[in-house]
Amino acid sequence: MKILYDGIVRNLQSYGGITVYFEEITRRLEMHEYKFVNFSSLRNDIYCDTNRRARLFERYRCFKKRSTDQECNIFHSTYYRFPKDNNFPVVTTVHDFTYELYMRGIRKTIHSLQKNRAIQNSDSIICVSQNTAKDLLNFCDVDDKKIHVIYNGVSEAYKYLNLEEEEFILFVGARAGYKNFELAVKAVAKLSKMKLKIVGGGTLSNSEIKLLTEYLDDKYEYLGKITNEHLNILYNTAYCLIYPSEYEGFGIPLLEAMRAGCPVIAVNRSSIPEVVGNSAILVDRVSIDSLFSALLRVPLNRNELRYKGLLQSQKFSWDKCFSETYDLYKSLC
């Protein structure tokens, strides 16, 4: 058995959830069991082209099997491609429906059309949560017998270190509208001694800097992209992780925090209850007041949240994700 991956996600993001997913899967395969094929246009590498519209269409270009790839008997696209000559099994992983729910314009249209085409041309579809599987059935006409829920894992770099708690709250990841970053900032501002540390999510915009300065003055720190080891120390020393996202296909930072013994505040929607179980403080409605109330509950429930979080996080691992994915591959041969 050999698996062919198209490698497009490496051109779309140097680091991110989908990139991590495929890196964790492929590093557990033997070298002779898989192949990554990178694609470029006839003129040059289109992903380095400054023409954004060209890049937008290129990411969804159909994969055409090359003659040298005849030995590969399963195709697993890293980002919603499918073989032009569909004479061998195709696997597609669906991570979320963020585009369909929150994006507008041509990007949403093209993404949704190609995602649906890839799904329709797949023999098996992996969903990273039950909620994503439910969304898949809502947005796409697909045979539910093709759907397999295989949860993501979490890096072993995250672990409980029993470090002394510090006076800061952690916000990890993207800050798009549905992530409710603004509400998080305003809720944290009501705790006079607390600092907000921001990890990942790209450079702060001018409006975000204005928001942070207005509500937190100098009590915030933007750390950008950091190592897993650095982030693990932050999880271990933080007052809590505040994660007020209204929609997640899975939500890996939730697992990272729980694995490190960090209390979690999140929203009781989408896949989040699946991931955290009863080991987090969940708010039913996102508002400044609900987040502030949750923040006040952290010291009262810290030990319980830590204990339950450590137990819950053990249910997820990249080894388990790989094992179930590999079993699916074998079932298609």
Res. 44 pLDDT band, cuts 50 70 90? very low
- Report which of residues 36 and 287 the model is more confident about: 287
* Residue 251, phi-psi category: left (phi > 0), alpha (psi -120 to 50), beta (remainder): left
Residue 290's φ and ψ, nearest 5 degrees, are -65, -40
By residue count, the chain amounts to 333
Q: Which residue has 């929609």 as its token pair?
A: 247
What's the pLDDT score for residue 71?
Answer: 61
pLDDT, one tens digit per residue, over 63-93 is: 555 544 556 589 998 899 888 766 789 999 9
For residue range 235-254, list pLDDT tens digits in order. 999 999 999 999 999 999 99
Calpha distance 313→237 (Å, rounded) = 18
The structure tokens listed for 333 are 């041969």
The helix or strand, by DSSP H or E, that contains position 149, with its residue range, turns out to be strand 147-149
Given CA atoms 201, 275, 147, 152 in this order, what sign does their dihedral have?
positive
Work out the end-to-end distance of the chain between its first and last CA atoms, rounded to an integer number of angstroms: 7
pLDDT at 72: 56
pTM here is: 0.88
> For the chain, what is the radius of gyration of the CA atoms?
21
Residue 167, pLDDT score: 98
Q: What is the dihedral of CA 292, 298, 299, 301, to 10 degrees?
A: 140
- Say how far apart CA 73 and CA 241 lie, in whole Å: 43
pLDDT at 148 over 60: yes
Distance CA 265, CA 178 (A): 16
Which residue has tokens 């997913």?
A: 21
For residue 24, which of 78, 60, 97 has the smallest C-alpha distance? Answer: 78
Find, among 281, 283, 282, 277, the residue nearest to 311 by Cα: 277
Contact in structure between 333 and 73 (CB atoms under 8 Å)? yes
Provide mean pLDDT across the span 210-225: 97
Residue 174 tokens read as 């993207």
Q: What is the mean pLDDT of residues 128-137?
A: 98
Ordered domains of the chain (ranges, CATH)? 3-153+317-332 (3.40.50.2000), 168-313 (3.40.50.2000)
User: From the centroid of its chain, how far is CA 294?
Assistant: 24
- What is the structure's pLDDT at 56? 44
DSSP states of 126-145: EESSHHHHHHHHHHS---GG
Which amino acid appears at position 55 of this protein? R
Calculate mean pLDDT across residues 266-292: 98
| The token pair that represents 251 in the structure block | 């939500």
- CA neighbor of 217 nearest in space, from 181, 182, 240, 185: 185
Amino acid (one-letter) located at 202: G
What's the mean pLDDT in 96-117? Answer: 94
